């Protein structure tokens, strides 16, 4: 009989963390910038080609009524990565570096790192890849092509309207910048980000990993290789359902200047085509990362989360871009897969992105920090048909403007007192504001006062200013770390 190698065992115990860290699941989060609910399996846009996002749903659960905590990048990301809602932290806009409001010790990657995870980030996870706090990450390689709109503006020393050979075809729709690039996938920085995530997935480590990959498309500018535009001939493009009089029942509602410009130009389909091309480009990069995970030894013990950071209007309600509190700006894909998660599930319970932190901590078997807001969606991951717990999705847009989304209703309350109410059981595009006198016939039979008070209890009780948040959460006046001017 061979002697038991005690000296080796002692040595190993000294090197390996003692916790059951080895039993904790790995985590892969892919955050897709400005990806609204136009993924094929959600059915809102039936032309979009997203095979990789769709196939992930076959091995996991997709949430069909998922909404962002805030409808622009910075507050959305700060919220789901720190567990603090915008109204709690005071991070409302893109101009605020979240680190100047929320100090060290709150962010999810930092928590996981302190609990023994290897934490790796690449691409845009917080508002920009520059707004990272080094204590949160073991490794955060900087994309040499850049991680944001300025640097991702690709190779384009020369371009023409018509596109001479080897040059981009470049044009606008409204003020939206579009380019059909002559190069391959690697001509956009997301290719590099995905490759970095793939390399990180391939490494063997003695501890679980948290790998987060920010994919920047379909964020503007809508510049991707021409082959993605070729998938969507302009004359085949369908416009989303809309009404010319849609804003008549919205307090202060009027078409955006950009929408009027796009109508005047006749460039609505051009814009949709470019957004679809960018979504498919992003889907291909996501597919590369998912393929790498599938082929890796980590495939069976890694939780995968793919989410958009908020929605995007493409002319619905005569509006373009993100911001605001309507369905198009709040709803995003939210897909989970991995050990203990049902396969092929469609979960229709209303959820918001605050669930990310709470759920990942629970699935990792870690204590939930007291500051973390949001409901764990673990019951829906195990059983997508589990009864809804009644907590609506909540979206905040700037100071004290909020929107509640339940299984049936959307209730908006603006800080000037304006309110809107939509019934999704009959009005999926939010055409009929039931609180407008113009829709009295439609709202007859609904006890509006009672409904408003039932839904209104879910609006935040606290709405902090940015300064109040910074005082409470210890934001740094001059954050450490890479912070390019
Ligand atoms: Ca975004
Ligand atoms: Ca309307």
Domain-by-domain residue ranges, the chain? 28-391
Spacing, Cα 24 to ligand 1 middle (Å): 30
Spacing, Cα 149 to ligand 2 middle (Å): 33
Spacing, Cα 245 to ligand 2 middle (Å): 7
Q: Which ligand is nearest to the CA of 74?
A: 1
With both helix axes pointing from N to C terminus, report the angle between 268-295 and 51-58 in degrees, rounded to the nearest 10: 50
Which pLDDT does position 127 carry in this prediction? Answer: 85
- Tell the CATH superfamily of the 28-391 domain: Alkaline Phosphatase, subunit A (3.40.720.10)
Give me the active site residues, please: 73, 127
Which pLDDT does position 259 carry in this prediction? Answer: 98
Spacing, Cα 438 to ligand 2 middle (Å): 9
Spacing, Cα 441 to ligand 2 middle (Å): 14
Q: Which ligand is nearest to the CA of 420?
A: 2
pLDDT surpasses 50 at 224:
yes
Spacing, Cα 432 to ligand 2 middle (Å): 5
Q: Which ligand is nearest to the CA of 307?
A: 1
Are residues 343 and 315 in contact, defined by beta-carbon separation less than 8 angstroms?
Answer: no
Q: Which ligand is nearest to the CA of 148?
A: 1
Mean pLDDT of 181-185: 91
pLDDT surpasses 70 at 345:
yes
Which pLDDT does position 184 carry in this prediction? Answer: 92
**Where do the H-state alpha helices sit in 370-457?**
378-382, 440-443, 448-456
Spacing, Cα 471 to ligand 1 middle (Å): 27
Which pLDDT does position 477 carry in this prediction? Answer: 73
Residues by chain with Cβ below 5 Å of ion ligand 1: 33-34, 73, 309
Which pLDDT does position 32 carry in this prediction? Answer: 98
Tokens representing 197 are: 């995530």
Q: How far apart are CA 86 and CA 368, in angstroms?
A: 19
Q: Could you tell me the pLDDT band of residue 129, with boundaries at 50, 70 and 90?
A: confident
């Amino acid at each position: 009989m061979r002697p038991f190698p005690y000296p080796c065992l002692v040595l190993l115990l000294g090197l390996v963390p003692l916790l059951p860290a080895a039993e904790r699941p790995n985590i892969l989060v892919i955050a897709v910038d400005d990806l609204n609910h136009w993924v094929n399996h959600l059915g809102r846009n039936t032309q979009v080609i997203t095979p990789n996002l769709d196939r992930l749903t076959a091995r996991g659960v997709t949430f069909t009524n998922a909404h962002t905590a805030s409808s622009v990048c910075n507050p959305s990301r700060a919220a789901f990565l720190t567990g603090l809602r915008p109204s709690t932290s005071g991070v409302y806009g893109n101009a605020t570096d979240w680190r100047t409001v929320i100090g060290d010790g709150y962010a999810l990657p930092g928590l996981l790192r302190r609990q023994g995870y290897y934490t790796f980030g690449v691409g845009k996870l917080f508002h920009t890849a520059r707004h990272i706090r080094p204590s949160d990450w073991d490794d955060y390689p900087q994309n040499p092509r850049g991680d944001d709109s300025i640097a991702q503006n690709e190779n384009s020393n020369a371009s023409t309207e018509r596109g001479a050979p080897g040059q981009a075809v470049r044009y606008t729709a409204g003020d939206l910048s579009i380019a059909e690039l002559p190069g391959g996938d690697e001509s956009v920085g997301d290719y590099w980000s995905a490759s970095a995530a793939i390399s990180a997935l391939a490494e063997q480590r003695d501890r679980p990993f948290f790998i987060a990959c920010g994919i920047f498309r379909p964020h503007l500018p809508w510049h991707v290789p021409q082959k993605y535009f070729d998938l969507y001939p302009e004359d085949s493009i369908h416009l989303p359902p809309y009404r010319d009089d849609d804003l008549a029942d919205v307090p202060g509602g009027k078409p955006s200047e950009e929408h009027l410009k796009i109508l005047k130009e006749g460039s609505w389909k051009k814009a949709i085509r470019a957004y679809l091309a960018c979504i498919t480009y992003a889907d291909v990069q996501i597919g590369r990362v998912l393929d790498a995970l599938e082929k890796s030894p980590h495939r069976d013990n890694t939780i995968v989360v793919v989410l958009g950071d908020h929605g995007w209007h493409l002319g619905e309600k005569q509006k373009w871009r993100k911001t605001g509190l309507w369905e198009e700006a709040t709803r995003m894909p939210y897909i989970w897969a991995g050990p203990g998660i049902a396969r092929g599930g469609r979960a229709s319970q209303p959820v918001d992105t605050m669930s990310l932190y709470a759920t990942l901590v629970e699935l990792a078997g870690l204590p939930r920090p007291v500051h973390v807001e949001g409901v764990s969606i673990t019951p829906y991951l195990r059983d997508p048909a589990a009864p809804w717990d009644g907590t609506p999705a909540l979206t905040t847009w700037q100071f004290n403007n909020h929107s509640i989304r339940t299984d049936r209703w959307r209730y908006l309350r603006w800080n000037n007192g304006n309110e809107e109410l939509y019934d999704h059981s009959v009005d999926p595009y939010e055409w009929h504001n039931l609180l407008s006198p113009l829709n009295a016939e439609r709202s007859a039979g609904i006890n509006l006062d009672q409904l408003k008070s039932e839904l209104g209890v879910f609006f935040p009780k606290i709405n902090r200013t940015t300064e109040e948040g910074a005082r409470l959460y210890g934001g740094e006046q001059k954050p450490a770390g890479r912070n390019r001017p």
